[in-house]
């Protein structure tokens, strides 16, 4: 509960400023990927995952975390061995099939999500592929 309150404070404290004032998260078929929306949360997906990947503003509560509005994002891939980041595509997405991304990575790599507007806070922006 305290972790949710912490993140709600962080996300709402920016109302006086535009930067990072809206909480967002990565979702797979409308289910939030991060295991807990806290500083200790982790995003992990199996390479065989299926579904639609989105980045959305999030309505967070103790009982449920819901996707609200889709936001634009880009995708980069971080190689496990070299830590090199490469762009997945020049395209900007609001949604994409996770299978398309997983066909380009190996277990241990990371999928990095990049928001296109600074008003969105996306603290869990790296998805570990297992």
Q: What is the residue extent of each domain of the chain?
A: 2-129
Q: What does the pLDDT look like over 37-96, one tens digit per residue?
A: 888 999 999 999 999 999 999 998 888 889 999 999 999 999 999 999 999 999 999 999
Mean pLDDT of the chain: 88
pLDDT (0 to 100) of residue 25: 96
Instruction: Dump strand ranges (E) for the chain.
Output: 22-28, 31-32, 44-45, 52-60, 65-70, 73-78, 85-87, 96-97, 110-115, 120-121, 126-129
Higher pLDDT, 99 or 121: 99
pLDDT (0 to 100) of residue 11: 55
């Amino acid at each position: 509960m305290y972790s949710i309150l912490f993140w709600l404070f962080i996300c709402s404290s920016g109302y006086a400023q535009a930067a990072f004032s809206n909480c967002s998260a990565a979702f797979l078929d409308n289910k939030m990927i991060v295991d807990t929306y806290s500083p200790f949360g982790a995003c992990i997906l199996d390479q065989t995952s299926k579904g639609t990947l989105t980045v959305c503003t999030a309505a967070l509560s103790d009982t449920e975390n819901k996707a609200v509005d889709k936001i634009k994002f880009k995708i980069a891939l971080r190689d496990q061995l070299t830590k090199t980041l490469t762009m997945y595509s020049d395209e900007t997405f609001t949604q994409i099939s996770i299978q398309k991304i997983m066909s380009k990575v190996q277990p241990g790599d990371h999928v990095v999500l990049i928001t296109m507007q600074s008003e969105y806070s996306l603290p869990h922006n790296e998805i570990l592929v297992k």
